[in-house]
Amino acid sequence: MSSIERSLNVKAKPARKRSFLSALVSDYQLWLMILPAIIVIFIFNYIPMYGVQLAFRDFDFTKGITGGKWAGLKYFKQFFNSPMFWPTIVNTFRVAASSIIFGFPAPILLALILHQLRNQRIKEGLQTVVYMPHFISTVVMVAMINIMLSPRTGLVSNLLKSIGLVQPDTNLLGSTKTFVPVYVLTEIWQHCGWNSIIYFAALSTVDQELYDACKIDGANRLQTIRHIEIPALVPTIVILLILNMGNVLNVGFEKVFLMQNSLNLPVSEVISTYVYKIGLISNQFSFGSAVGLFNTLVNFVFLILTNVIAKRLADISLW
Amino acid sequence: MPKKNKEAVKYSLADNIFEFFIIIFCIFVFIIVAYPLYFIVIASFSDSTYVNQGLVILTPKGFSTYGYGKIFEDTRIWTGYKNTLIYTLGGTAINLLFTLPGAYALAYKRFKARKYIMRAFVFTMFFNGGLIPTYMLIRNLRMVDTMWVMMIPFCVNVYNLIITRTFFEHTIPDELYEAAIIDGCTHFKFFTTVVLPLSKAIISVIFLYYMVGHWNNFFTALIYLNKDNLQPLQIVLRNILLSNQVFMEGAGMGGEAGGYAQRYADQVKYGVILVSTLPILCLYPFIQKYFEEGIMIGAIKG
């Protein structure tokens, strides 16, 4: 350390100009390293933002994205007045809200409970197992759902019927009542373990002295969880909750899209699948852009609201 | 004194009951997560009739490898496999090439512009142009129906960039930077000879993130690829598993023959699930040892 400081002092004084120059040279190297990322993000993230004006224009094939005639809020009004407006909004919120209410606390609980295991090897083995489903692709996941919940031959659907959890005549795959529960529960099955990693990491940073102090004070395991471990998780929980709320309406397109069938469509048509069908399948580019932009704006409002609330209540915020 | 002793006994009893419930819960979790995966494996080796009757529970029944035989004959699967392999290897290489140097630059505290660049990047996590404007852009770039669309767009994931940057900030001491720069080491050289070898943990983590993303990518191909010879494995899987096009000839004509085909179709499905998921599952235990370290330092800042 001291030798570095000394060499810094020696070099910095006589050659101020040169150090400024060398800073510029080194900065040029840094710029060169960050430039590829800047270019990619500019092209693929910022140019489409500019292209959002498509939502306010009549799309004209011959004139490109920005050449169409200005249409103002025409396409937004068209969406608000369309018969698909309320169903898609309600469906999206239903799936999103259920996912957050049930899907968000699940990894926290899992991490807290698995963390109580005293045998390290069993704990690590179990962690490996619960992480695994995360690597399954959405296509395979939906195929597994279809196989397991198939009304006649499905392993899980037969099990649920035999213990009386579902009516014998329900088709878990093609019913407006079961779409959301099936979506949310399989989502938890697949990602709960993976999402708990970050909580495991946070729990492993808890100071051993705190546990020792707890023992001396005669606290039992539940009290230790309540007074030591949960408080240790709070900052992580709040940050993740804010981030999740910012994506509240970005309901996973792939899974919903692949789970859709004519029987569950009344509850499974969400904004993102609607944008895909109306925009790319029916080629209504301007209308599709308007619906997509509406979705993004609602997300943005949710993000800001949660951030404000978190700042007020817990003094934790993203910015 | 006796009173205190009694209390200690009471707590340990409560703790034992607590321990009991924890273990019951963990066994429950283990079965719920592991059994469906195990079931796919045994069902892929069993006669579908037994599987559909619910007779295959712990071990394969009516052992047969017919499903796998069909899979090895199916050229669609191998084309899909080849394409996915190209997209995954090429895509992940591009991802790392673009992300790692960028994260290094953003981790260097004396780099004045880093605050503003960071803000511009983070903004894209919460606001985007949406599907249609993005589609128009890709179309204008003439990337539709090319291999590039599976590798180049969005090759810098801002979340991965942030955790990598955080990792660099926390594991590469400032003194090391200063010493190396003063000794005339350039950023490029410092990055390749010092930073990268010290960062195996985070490189493994984002390598896995990116790789799994490419391997499982279905959406990009659905939107931007129409040609059959470019389709990745996930699209082929969708056709086989969800659209019921199990046999290339188009089976399920009904009658005796149809029933026969359908019976084997299920076995093919289980086999396909296994064959397509196994490569990722095999790779992950090798990387897992770096996980705690990489994620802890990267994701929980400070």
Measured CA to CA, the distance from residue B264 to residue B167 in angstroms comes to: 50
At residue B261, the pLDDT reads 63
Question: In whole numbers, what is the pLDDT of chain B averaged over residues?
Answer: 84
CA distance B299 to chain A (A): 8
For the ranges B92-101, B126-135, B181-190, which has the lowest average pLDDT? Answer: B181-190
- In chain A, which residues have their Cβ closer than 8 Å to the Cβ of B132? 54, 275, 279-280, 285, 288-289, 292
Q: A215: Cβ–Cβ under 8 A, 6 or more apart, which residues?
A: none
Strand partners, A70: A57
Copy the structure tokens of residue B98: 């673009």
Please tell me the total number of residues recorded for chain B in this structure.
302
As a whole number, mean pLDDT of residues B259-263 equals 60
By mean pLDDT, which of A5-14, B49-58, B289-298 is the weakest? A5-14
Q: How confident is the model at residue A22 (pLDDT cuts 50, 70, 90)?
A: low
Residue A164 burial (10 A CB sphere; 0-12, 13-18, 19+) = exposed
> A36 contacts in B (CB within 8 Å)?
97-98, 101-102, 156
Q: Tell me the sheet residues that pair with A64.
A: A60
Tell me what ipTM this predicted complex has: 0.86
Give the mean pLDDT of A41-61: 89
Q: Where are the alpha helices (DSSP H) in chain B?
A: 2-44, 48-52, 66-73, 75-107, 114-126, 131-140, 158-171, 174-182, 187-190, 196-198, 200-215, 219-224, 233-237, 255-288, 291-299
Is residue B112 within 8 angstroms of chain A, CB to CB?
Answer: yes
Domain ranges across chain A? 2-56, 74-136+179-314
Return the top range by mean pLDDT from A53-62, A78-87, B87-96.
B87-96
Contact at 8 Å (CB) between B203 and B196?
yes
- Residue A205 in contact with partner chain B when CB distance is under 8 A: yes
Candidates A7, A98, A51, A50; CA nearest to A288 is A51
- Between positions 120 and 139 of B, the ones with CB within 8 A of A are 120-121, 124-137
- Within 8 A of A11 by CB-CB distance, chain B residues are 182
Confidence of residue A104 (pLDDT cuts 50, 70, 90): very high
pLDDT of B85 reads: 95
Q: Is 70 exceeded by the pLDDT of residue A25?
A: no
pTM equals 0.86
CA–CA distance, B292 with B302 (Å, rounded to integer): 15
pLDDT of A1: 40
Query: What's domain B67-299's superfamily in CATH?
Result: MetI-like (1.10.3720.10)
- Cβ–Cβ under 8 Å, residues A241 and A310: yes
Please report the pLDDT score of residue B300 as a whole number. Answer: 57
- Distance, in angstroms, between B191 CA and closest chain A CA? 10
pLDDT greater at residue B77 or residue B288? B77
What token pair was written down for B216? 């499982």
| pLDDT-wise least confident of A95-104, A131-140, B69-78 | B69-78
- B182–A4 CB contact, under 8 Å: yes
Give residue-wise pLDDT tens across range B135-177.
Answer: 999 999 999 999 999 999 999 999 899 889 988 888 888 788 8
User: Which stretch of A14-18, A79-83, B70-74, B99-103 has the lowest confidence by average pLDDT?
Assistant: A14-18
| pLDDT band with cut points at 50, 70 and 90 for residue B34 | very high
Hey, are the CB atoms on B242 and A189 less than 8 Å from each other?
no
Q: Which of A118, A246, A276 sits opposite B131 (nearest CB)?
A: A276
| Angle formed at CA A180 by CA A309 and CA A271, multiple of 5 degrees | 70
The class of domain A74-136+179-314 in CATH terms is mainly alpha
* Residue in chain A nearest B271 by alpha carbon: A140
Q: In angstroms, rounded to a whole number, what is the distance separating the alpha carbons of residues B19 and A118?
A: 9
**Of B117, B288, B296, which is closest to A38 when you measure between CB atoms?**
B117
Q: Look up residue B86 and give its amino acid.
A: I
Residue B218's nearest CA partner among B131, B150, B292, B140 is B150
Domain ranges of chain B: 2-65, 67-299
